[in-house]
Structure 1
Amino acid sequence: MTFFEIADLCAGYGTGQVLFDVSLDIERGEVVSLLGRNGAGKSTTMRCVAGAKPPYVQDGAIRLDGDDVTDLKTYERINRGIGYVPEERRVWPGLTISENIRMAINNADDPLSMDEVMGYFPRLRELGDKAARNLSGGEQQMLAIGRALASNPEIMLMDEPSEGLAPFIVRDVENIITTLNEEEGLTIFLVEQNVVMAMDVSDRHYFIDQGSIVDEMTPNELRASPDLRKKYLSV
């Protein structure tokens, strides 16, 4: 049985359709990235999996470990095992680091402890009870990942985790993804504009163009395919 599956997903905003029969699968323990140009449908796909509204699913199914989660509310998906790191982080700015994480812990059925979460983020532990609004972009990204991790997910969705970060901070994010995957076995579904980062952390890539999946390949195949990178990624 496939661990995670999107099957023939059609979705959009209002009366406009953005996704057209999107299908992909992820095995337990994989890191899989969804790549494409801006506006291709990457974040719309991610928001559909997370249960964020809008967009609205028009047809198709999203399954986790055999269970259809397509119609579940966002909090129900979290408790079913779907963690979500949204684009632009979206931490609660007026709350402290620990309060942000505590909110996630308190709203999960089987959460990690505060100490377990902080064990992955020594920098956040050093900052103590600093308000989220006063954190750097990289620190906010760590907090967003920690907040999602607190619910003890089976699969982690990450939407543009390197966006707006300095290269040395991007490396920190890469290391966290690799640690969570290799040491904890966490399955990760990644949307990322930074193709080099995506190749470094992923087992496989799917490519989306104009709302449809158009190709699938390994990082080594992508590195050897400059024509495809130019066609679908502008790099």
Structure 2
Amino acid sequence: MSDHAEKHVVRGTGSDPAFFSCWNLHAYYGESYIVQGVSFDVREGEIVALLGRNGAGKTSTLRTIAQIGSPQLHHGEVWLDHQPLHTMKSYQAAQAGVGLVPEDRRIIPGFTVEENLKLAQIAKPIGWSLERIYDHFPRLGERRHQEGTTLSGGEQQMLSVARALARDIKLLLLDEPYEGLAPVIVKEIEKIVENIKELGITTIIVEQNAIAALELADRAVILDMGQVVFDGSAQEVLDNTELRHQYLAL
């Protein structure tokens, strides 16, 4: 680990009053030790880019935060607005305000755009109304009666984000939102995330397109081999060629 990275490594205390905080997370896929003591905080309304090479533990960290299936949390704490997510099931974490937009989008086959959105609102607390969603995502309004799985990749990503907002979320977790999308569509998704930021929704974004994520984010947390090696401003990563090359292959 470089001297530059070492001075930025998070040393969690478990008592940070941040809006969101994960402290000393350790998680496994079966016997594979994936997340190895990850700690970082996020301020309310902030966008944090969670970056690293393939296999660094980024998606596993998101899934651990959301308490979604595997990986299994072995040790550590996750707090959101004074609520202990680490003691909750996935549905309880969702009720507490966690909205995960997975890489595979998970649009429900056989359901229209509007049915996918309504299904997200079956359980309370309910977030954005359909009218508000269509106001922010006019393309979804135009296609409200179209089957969700027949949308383009960019439209499916919009639907996946809108479905998260249909819940009353406090923390939005975006896993590879630009994956497989044309550059022009990436720009549209970026605008959506910027609008979300303006609305004060706290966001953690995992993205292989690190430059695009960094240009959008306030801060960056870089993982390597399941551990935090950098926690600082996004601009600092953009300005540091050596750091990007070492941990992001850029």
TM-score, length basis structure 1 = 0.97
Aligned equivalent of 2:211, options 173, 196, 214: 196
Counterpart residue number, 1:125: 141
Counterpart residue number, 2:94: 78
- The answer (yes or no) to whether the contact 1:88–1:163 under 8 Å persists in 2 is no
Distance (whole Å) between structure 1 residues aligned to residue 22 and residue 127 of structure 2 = 26
Distance (whole Å) between structure 2 residues aligned to residue 134 and residue 44 of structure 1 = 29
1:39 aligns with 2:39: no
Q: How does 1:67-216 map to 2 (within 5 A)?
A: 67-182=83-198, 184-216=199-231
Moved over 3 A (4+): none
- The answer (yes or no) to whether the contact 2:99–2:171 under 8 Å persists in 1 is yes
State the percentage of identical aligned residues: 40
* Shift in Å, 1:71: 2.4
Distance (whole Å) between structure 2 residues aligned to residue 113 and residue 79 of structure 1 = 17
1:232 aligns with 2:244: no
Give the RMSD, CA atoms, in angstroms. 1.0
Distance (whole Å) between structure 1 residues aligned to residue 145 and residue 128 of structure 2 = 19
AA at the equivalent of 1:52: I
Q: Where does structure 2 lack aligned partners over 5 or more consecutive residues? A: 1-16
Distance (whole Å) between structure 2 residues aligned to residue 233 and residue 135 of structure 1 = 32
User: What is the number of residues matched between the two proteins?
Assistant: 234
* Shift in Å, 1:220: 1.8
1:27 aligns with 2:43: yes
SS at structure 1 position matched to 2:21: strand
1:18 aligns with 2:59: no
* Shift in Å, 1:85: 0.4
Deviations 1:150-192 (A, max 9, x none): 002011111110011000100011100000111x111101111
* Shift in Å, 1:130: 0.5
AA at the equivalent of 2:146: K
SS at structure 1 position matched to 2:196: helix
Q: Where does structure 1 lack aligned partners over 5 or more consecutive residues? A: none
TM-score, length basis structure 2 = 0.91
